[in-house]
Amino acid sequence: MTHNFDSTVLREYDIRGIIGETLGADDARAIGRGFATLLRRAGGQKVAVGYDGRVSSPMLEHALVEGLTASGCDVVTIGLGATPMLYYAEASGEDVDGGIQITGSHNPANYNGFKMVFQGRPFFGSDIQKLGEMAAAGDWDDGSGSVESRAILGEYVERLLMGLGDVDRAALADLRVGWDAGNGAAGPALEMLAAKLPGEHHLLYTDVDGNFPNHHPDPTVEENLADLRALVAEKNLHFGVAFDGDGDRIGAIDGEGRVIWGDQLLMIYAEDTLKTRPGATVIADVKASRALFERISECGGKPLMWKTGHSLVKSKMKETGSPLAGEMSGHVFFADEYYGYDDALYAGVRLIAASARLGRSVTELRGAMPAMVNTPELRFQVDESRKFAAIREVEERLANSDSDVDGTDGVRVTTPDGWWLLRASNTQDVLVARAESDSEEGLARLMAQIDEQLALSGLERGESVGH
């Protein structure tokens, strides 16, 4: 028996498709067969499986479990929950060798997909392509695994609470925080967590609804924070936290309604973490502000700029022993007192703890940050066959100039005006651009350089497209 996946489904960091068009039960079954075969061949036996709140998730879970057991793996089902709860089940379960979360993350409601962990490491890139090759060849082992259910929500929430660390709970009695689960999978854990946290907590949209009736669950898009901003203003709260659809990315606003972007959150976490981990490496992706890298140095850390992509960042953390990393997209990874994966609920708890330990409110911490003028992430359509080639052309042209170029992931060019970035997306047929300066005039000059490089490769920026 063999299976062929739609060409768009097996991505760099995860597996993702449109239900009924490019992704269905047969795909889930084939993923289970391939993953179980690889795990057993590597000496593993048991896989934890969880799913998010999308309408299609239970159907995919059923087929995935069929595939896993048919190739001889035992399965632990943990039910509906956030992706980091699945990561927790894999990281904390002594008898668990791998994990698969069924999730469409922050994509529209008709999408779904899979995020995977294999013997404690991210499963991505060539691993995912291997599943496709095995399916096409029918290279699957046969077996008959068992299925058991584990209720771990309560245990997971208790572990989240440990993120407060040594902070005096009584000192947090006057804390007032707003939270927006966006009808995503983090809702039940958030309700349980907020009931146990000190202070006053106001929750939005904790009912899990895969149709996302209130707003799209992507906290990096400012318009999706409008309801949280209104709540913080109405209740005079200290700050607000929002999650994406599967709870692995965080968004935040301060008490004045200002967005605290991913790299700005990392500035707060880095200052707090480096107090107890002096000299440690802190990793951020190539889209992050220069102000972040400078702040890490000021706080006694070693800043490391790395490639965009949660799997790539997690792998680099393991390699360098870094206690903290983050991306502009709101993935924040704590290996300091935690497991090194991206957990937005834990990041929310750590924001409370960091503010308390640093002795400054989140609003004060945000207000002290340098005012930079920057673009959002600009994404524009480019033919798949051209996207990487165009970046190589830009690299070659700049290699013959006196530009200050970093080629970690695409091209990041530093000039007296600031910096600009041009990189190819690993998951879509788009190029991504970003620029940052300390003045509007400087930003305009940087954008002109991007447009010039695109024109030399026969491309234009055009209108920005979504994720």
Residues marked as catalytic: 105
Please tell me the number of Cα atoms within 13 Å of 185 on its side-chain side: 32
Backbone angles phi, psi at 132, to 5 degrees: -65, -45
Please say whether the beta carbons of 340 and 317 come within 8 A: yes
DSSP annotation of 57 reads H
DSSP H/E element including 416: none
Dihedral angle, C-alpha 235, 239, 244, 250, nearest 10 °? -170
Please say whether the beta carbons of 179 and 202 come within 8 A: yes
DSSP annotation of 214 reads S
Q: How far apart are CA 12 and CA 122, in angstroms?
A: 11
Please tell me the number of Cα atoms within 13 Å of 56 on its side-chain side: 23
Q: How far apart are CA 213 and CA 151, in angstroms?
A: 28
> How far is the CA of 48 from the CAs of 13, 68, 119, 189, in angstroms?
19, 10, 11, 18
- Token pair, residue 202, equals 């106001």
Q: How far apart are CA 202 and CA 429, in angstroms?
A: 40
Task: Identify which of 12, 6, 4, 24 has the alpha carbon closest to the alpha carbon of residue 129.
Answer: 12
DSSP annotation of 10 reads B
Please list the residues that pair with 50 across neighbouring strands. Answer: 79, 101
Amino acid in the structure at residue 185: A
Please list the residues that pair with 288 across neighbouring strands. Answer: none
Q: How far apart are CA 47 and CA 269, in angstroms?
A: 32
Amino acid in the structure at residue 268: I
Backbone angles phi, psi at 68, to 5 degrees: -60, -45
Backbone angles phi, psi at 12, to 5 degrees: -70, -45
Q: How far apart are CA 8 and CA 26, in angstroms?
A: 16
Please say whether the beta carbons of 102 and 47 come within 8 A: no
Q: How far apart are CA 326 and CA 250, in angstroms?
A: 10
Please say whether the beta carbons of 431 and 421 come within 8 A: no
